[in-house]
Amino acid sequence: MGSFIELKNVSVLRDDRKILDNINLVINSDENVAIIGPNGSGKSTFIKLITGKIYPSYTGDDTVCKLFGRIQWNVHNLRNMLGIVTNELQYNFHNEITGIETVLSGFFASIGLSNTHIVTNAMIKKAENTIDFLEVSSLKDKKLETMSSGEARRFLIARSLVNNPKVLVLDEPSNSLDIASAVKLHNTMRKISGSGTKIVLVTHLVSDIIPEMDRFVFFKKGKIFADGNRKNIFTSDKLSSLFGMKVKINENNSLCEIAVV
Ligand SMILES: Nc1ncnc2c1ncn2[C@@H]1O[C@H](COP(=O)(O)OP(=O)(O)OP(=O)(O)O)[C@@H](O)[C@H]1O
Ligand SMILES: [Mg+2]
C-alpha cells in the first residue's frame, strides 16, 4: 500500500515564526483522514506541504518530507496519485471556462484548456462520467464564473477525480456552502470514498466528517495536538481542549454536530 506522506521533524517558518513546528506524521494511502484544528493552526500550510506546494524550512539530516515515497514530484506524474481541491484553486478559475472544460483541464494538471492541449474522445467520456458521478451534468456547459460556489466546487472535485487518484485532499470543502449543499457534499464524499479514492479532509466543521473516516489528526498552534482513531481522538473532551471551549459531539446517522455546552 505504501505511504501517502511521511514527515519527520518538519517545520515551516514564516516571519520568524514556526507556523508548522516539528511535525512527525505518516499517512498511508489506504486511510481516510480528518485533519481538524482552529483557525490559524496550520492546516492549510500542512496541505501545501503534503501537496508539494511548499517545502520544509530546514533540511537537516533528520528531516524527511516524502510524498508517495519520493522527495520530489513532477506535477504531471503526481496527478494520477493525488487530487487536490482548495479554496485557493477555486479562486484561480475566474475566466470564461465552462464546467466540462474545467474538468477536462484535470487531464493536463492545468487551470483551463489551451490549444496545445489535445482532448481525446476518451477524455470527454471520462469527464462526462465524472461530472455525472458528481451529479452536476445539467450544468456542464455553464460558465464556471456564473455558478454558485457549491456548484463550481463540484466541478473542481470532478477535475481532480478524472485521473482516478489514490488520494483526494480537500481543504475546507464546505466553505460557503448552505446547510443543504453541505449535506449533499457530505454524501458525495461518502460516494468518493466508496469508489476507492481515499480522502484527506481538512476542516474545522465536524459536520463535514464522514463515517468512513477513522483517523483524526488535530492541529493546534502549528503542532500535532492529537492523532489516533475515532474512538480515542474524536471525543467531546479532546475537541473541547482543541478549541479551548467546552463542546459536545452529537452523532446522528452519518452526520456529526458540535454543540457548545
Ligand atoms: N505565507 C505566509 N506568511 C506568513 N504567515 C503565514 C503564511 N501562511 C500562513 N501564515 C500564518 O500561519 C498560520 C497558519 O495558517 P494556515 O493558513 O495554515 O491556518 P489554517 O489552520 O488553515 O487556518 P484556517 O482554519 O483559518 O484556514 C496563521 O497564523 C497564518 O497567518
Ligand atoms: Mg486553512
Write the DSSP string, 154-205.
HHHHHHHHTT--SEEEEESTTTT--HHHHHHHHHHHHHHHHTT-EEEEEES-
Cβ-in-10-Å burial (0-12, 13-18, 19+) of 142 comes to: middle
Nearest atom in ligand 1 to 41's CA? 21
Ligand 1 pocket: which of 17, 35, 43, 88 to mutate (most atoms within 8 A of CB):
43
Contact residues of ligand 1, CB 6 A cut-off: 14-15, 19, 37, 39-45, 204
Q: Which amino acid is at 218?
A: F
Q: Whose CA is nearest to atom 28 of ligand 1?
A: 40
136 CB-side CA count, 13 A = 32
Supply the pLDDT for residue 115: 87
Name the residue of 11, 18, 44 whose CB sits within 8 Å of the most ligand 1 atoms, as the mutation to test its pocket: 44
**% of the chain surpassing 70 pLDDT:** 99
Task: Calculate mean pLDDT across residues 52-81.
Answer: 85
- Which residue's C-alpha comes closest to atom 25 of ligand 1? 39
Q: What is the radius of gyration, based on Cα positions, of the chain?
A: 18
Gap from CA of 39 to ligand 2 centroid (Å): 7
Ligand 2 center to 154 CA (angstroms): 19
How many A from CA of 16 to the centre of ligand 2?
20
pLDDT tops 90 at residue 260: no
Instruction: Please give the pLDDT value at position 1.
Output: 66
Backbone angles phi, psi at 99, to 5 degrees: -55, -50
Banded pLDDT at 143 (limits 50, 70, 90): very high
Tell me the C-alpha distance between 171 and 83, whole Å. Answer: 11
Q: Which residues contact 67 (CB under 8 A, 6 or more apart)?
A: 4, 5, 50, 51, 52, 73, 78, 82
Mean pLDDT of the chain: 91
pLDDT at 244 over 80: yes
Q: What contacts 200, CB < 8 A, 6 or more positions away?
A: 4, 27, 32, 33, 35, 50, 167, 168, 169, 170
Residue 35 — very low, low, confident or very high, per pLDDT cuts 50/70/90?
A: very high
CA max distance for the chain:
57
Question: φ, ψ for residue 117 (rounded to 5)?
Answer: -90, 125
Of the given ranges (22-26, 105-109, 141-145, 201-205), which has the lowest mean pLDDT?
A: 201-205
How far is the C-alpha of 141 from the C-alpha of 210, rounded, in Å? 31
pLDDT for the residue numbered 253: 65
Residue 83 has pLDDT above 80, yes or no: yes
Any idea which ligand is nearest the CA of 221?
1
Q: Which residue has the cell 472535485?
A: 157
Give pTM, 2 decimals. 0.93
Count other C-beta atoms under 10 Å from residue 153's C-beta: 26
Ligand nearest to the CA of 17: 1
Which residue out of 11, 17, 19 has the highest number of ligand 1 atoms within 8 Å of its CB and is therefore the one to mutate? 19
Q: How far is CA 104 from the centre of its chain?
A: 20
Q: How large is the average pLDDT for residues 135-158? A: 94
Closest approach atom of ligand 1 to CA 204: 25
Residue 261 has pLDDT above 90, yes or no: no
Distance 174 CA to ligand 1 centre (A): 19
pLDDT in tens, 168-194: 999 999 888 888 888 899 999 999 999
Residue where the block lists cell 450544468: 139
pLDDT over threshold 90, residue 42: yes
**Ligand closest in space to the Cα of 23:** 1
Q: How far is the CA of 37 from the centre of ligand 2 (A)?
A: 9
Does residue 72 surpass a pLDDT of 80? no
Cβ 58 vs Cβ 35: under 8 Å? no
